[in-house]
Chain A
Amino acid sequence: MFSHALRRPATARTSQRCFSASSRRSADANVLCFIETKVTDKSDMVPGTLNAITAAKKIGGKVTGILIGKDEASMQPAIDKAKKLGLDSLLVRYAPALEHVLAEPTAPVLAELVKKGGYTHFAGPHSALGKNIFPRVAGLLDVQQISDVMSISAPDTFTRPVYAGNAISTVRSKDAIKLFTVRASTWEPAQEGDKEAPVDVKEAENVGPEQATWISEEIVKSERPDLSSAPIVVSGGRGVKSKDAFDSTIIPLADALGAAIGASRAAVDSGYADNSLQVGQTGKVIAPELYVAVGISGAIQHLAGMKDSKTIVAINKDPDAPIFQVADVGLVADLFEAVPDLVKKIEAAKQ
């Protein structure tokens, strides 16, 4: 979300200061942005990367993408996509040790690039991978990272959530290099265009030691829309009571709406849903068009993950559940009666 008003000189004094600061420095801004590919499909970007590119462009200078992988051939599909994302240039660095983008070999490569390339900013998604690698780069560069950036009002001024999103903090960085991760849900994703960025492919320099050995990964396969980018999400909580009930109520409702499935921590801990589906401070933070919370009371940590959704629908039998304080549409009802009825009526409405 761009607040162009902040950059116009005719607004309030504080804004004017932001403007002069940004106009003074943005001409020199030189942003490197980490491009993360999906674990399941290395030819595609994770959605959060596209949002990070938008945030990187907001800084106002040149934006260079950096793609990391095992070798050029395996990265070619990702290169073809990444170069069309409106970047000024695209760096591709490869080495066998970088296959799984583990922190130990990768962080020194990135730190070296940032230093040698004269970058003023290093951006990336606030994904599990971004959260794993960026702090290590920050440690190597002796820079105070800024996590989960929601907005940028000047090249050195960033806004981010603290206390599970219950307060919004604006900070000005005094570091020479601004290293930050980007909250996906508050930025529009960068779109593919016709223009192609020049691509610079090289073997990676300064690859770190392979101290950790990658053993395996278990990825939950799903035909559904991806939770972090789906426009509609249906989530179940403790009130669903069992895994069978979760499957027989939440899944049909998600099918009817073409929605991704989410879950509260209570539902995950009770084994009703996989933990990759957890919405909340410690799971995924999402902001879909429609969020349907079924049998979820609305604990602070869950609200932190979904309260920026455009429309929130809550179905809960407890009229005092805190979820009703944020819901646009609240229905006090037994979910085992209301949800099947809702599925029927949604199917009917679609015809």
Chain B
Amino acid sequence: MRPTPPSWLKLLVPVKRTVDYAVKIRVGPKGVETKGVKHSMNPFDEIAIEEAVRLREKDKKAIEKITVVSIGPAKASEVLRTALAMGADEAIHIETAEDDVVEPLAVARTLKEIVGREQPDIVIMGKQAIDDDSSQVGGMLAGMLSWPQANFASKVDLDVAAKTVTVSREIDGGLETLKMSLPAVITTDLRLNQPRYASLPNIMKAKKKPLQKLKPSDLGADFAPRLESVNVEAPPARQGGAKVESVDEVVSKMKEAGVL
């Protein structure tokens, strides 16, 4: 066996277990009800794994390793197994207590520790989680590491030899293209790719891939929330549902609304 050439790149993909995007969530007295509700991988994180796997498929020699990492309760390991079945090589699970609230800042600080251990060349993650909708971790992490960032990527071109990555990112009104030297942080937008389904053989293989469990204390992580939750409530319901019979009625309703 030849020794690993130093030009091989390592990718780190953080993933989050969230309430499934198709679930119509319910707001109870203690906030959003998450117990007994279907969870799955945050859709933007699936896109991040897909992109990591595609980068390797494009140039098999380029990528040494794809590591996925998740911070969350015991069940977050299911999401990591899904990521392994999609093509990641190994997983790290930082296991928190069931009801721990881990804010984006705490996630970013913890990921910074993981980056220190794993020494990835690219961190690629979703642009936002569909539960808290914060869209913060990528930028926070890049800032903490003083790495360049390309948020909301819709196209990623990796130049392994030059150790640069060119990213088209979605901005208001169009696209912006940036070229970054590695290491760098990329966050994925919806249009970057169409994630694959994990095949049954790959799901079976994923069970044998390494999954390392860590405790927050192993990383010196401080999860003390900076935000105190005061209240969570359902948004005011719309009085919708009124149907009309004809185009004429639509026009008269528009007149009533004062737009004609």
B241 to chain A, nearest CB (A): 6
Chain B 163-182 interface mask (CB, 8 Å, partner A; 1/0):
00010001111111111110
Task: Please list the 8 inter-chain residue pairs (A to B) with the smallest Cβ-Cβ separation, ordered nearest first.
Answer: A135-B139, A139-B143, A139-B140, A211-B148, A144-B226, A136-B143, A219-B174, A135-B136
Contact partner of A128 (CB less than 8 A), chosen from B141, B172, B181, B190, is: B172
The main secondary structure of chain A at its interface with chain B is mixed
Tell me whether A166 is interfacial, beta carbon within 8 Å.
yes
A39-B172, A139-B108, A148-B133 known; A167+B148 contact, CB < 8 A:
no
B140 contacts across to A, CB distance below 8 A:
135-136, 138-139, 145
Are B240 and A312 within 8 A (Cβ)?
yes
A342 contacts across to B, CB distance below 8 A:
247, 250-251
Tell me whether A1 is interfacial, beta carbon within 8 Å.
no
B190 contacts across to A, CB distance below 8 A:
265, 282
Are B24 and A300 within 8 A (Cβ)?
yes
B222 to chain A, nearest CB (A): 10
Tell me whether A205 is interfacial, beta carbon within 8 Å.
no
Tell me whether B104 is interfacial, beta carbon within 8 Å.
yes
Are A326 and B242 within 8 A (Cβ)?
no
B128 to chain A, nearest CB (A): 8
Are B172 and A107 within 8 A (Cβ)?
no
Are A313 and B171 within 8 A (Cβ)?
no
A136 contacts across to B, CB distance below 8 A:
139-140, 142-143, 149
A327 to chain B, nearest CB (A): 5
Are A220 and B234 within 8 A (Cβ)?
no
A202-218 residues with Cβ-Cβ distance < 8 A to B are 208-209, 211-218
Chain B residue at smallest Cβ distance from A342 = B247
Kindly state the separation between the CA atoms of A21 and B174 in the bound complex, as whole angstroms.
Answer: 43
Q: Which A residues are closer than 8 A to B by beta carbons?
A: 38-40, 46, 100, 102-104, 107, 127-129, 131-140, 142-148, 157, 160-175, 208-209, 211-220, 228, 231-232, 257, 265, 268-269, 274-276, 281-282, 289-290, 300-301, 307, 310-313, 315, 319, 324-333, 338, 341-342, 345-346, 349-350
A183 to chain B, nearest CB (A): 11
A and B contact pairs by CB, cutoff 8 A, 7 listed: A102-B178, A144-B105, A146-B227, A147-B134, A170-B231, A214-B178, A311-B257
Q: Count how many chain B residues have C-beta atoms less than 8 Å from C-beta atoms of the other chain.
A: 84
Kindly state the separation between the CA atoms of A344 and B33 in the bound complex, as whole angstroms.
Answer: 48
B239 contacts across to A, CB distance below 8 A:
328
Kindly state the separation between the CA atoms of A219 and B144 in the bound complex, as whole angstroms.
Answer: 31
Kindly state the separation between the CA atoms of A157 and B228 in the bound complex, as whole angstroms.
Answer: 9
Chain A residue at smallest Cβ distance from B147 = A211
Are B108 and A161 within 8 A (Cβ)?
no
Tell me whether B21 is interfacial, beta carbon within 8 Å.
yes
B108 to chain A, nearest CB (A): 6
B147 contacts across to A, CB distance below 8 A:
211
B103 contacts across to A, CB distance below 8 A:
144
